[in-house]
Amino acid sequence: MSTDLLPPGFETLEPFVGEWVFTSADDRLKRRLTSSDHDRVAFFNAVKDRLQDGLTYLDKKPFGEFDEDEHRLMQLFLSFAHVALAVEVQGDAEPKHAEGARFMTITQAPSEVADP
């Protein structure tokens, strides 16, 4: 059942909105660092096959014209980038990498800078 949190066609990703949609890169990092391996892998597996379709969908209009649903989809994909690092690259070593990353604060990311 759709709750209209994401654009049409992406309803299967809606269960992840409450846990993975954040406006700041620092919040996305913190979520990745506090998530369980199970949660990261479930999110990764749900999004990986929808990513290309989603980016193609979002690429049809300028970022400044996104509606709320499209912004949530983009934020979900930005969280996916954090999780993909943990799942695909760091794997079983993610807890070790997370130890130091917990002390890092992302003060601003390119996705948070307004167009000039």
Domain ranges of the chain: 15-104
pLDDT at 88: 72
C-alpha atoms less than 13 angstroms from C-alpha of 36 in its C-beta half-sphere = 3
pLDDT tens readout for residues 74-105: 999 999 998 988 787 666 656 666 666 665 65
pLDDT, one tens digit per residue, over 55-73 is 999 999 998 899 999 999 9
Instruction: Look up residue 52 and give its two tokens.
Output: 């290309």
Give, in order, the Cα–Cα distances in Å from 68 to each of 75, 83, 94, 102, 109: 10, 23, 32, 30, 20
pLDDT of residue 46: 97
Is residue 37 predicted with pLDDT exceeding 60? yes
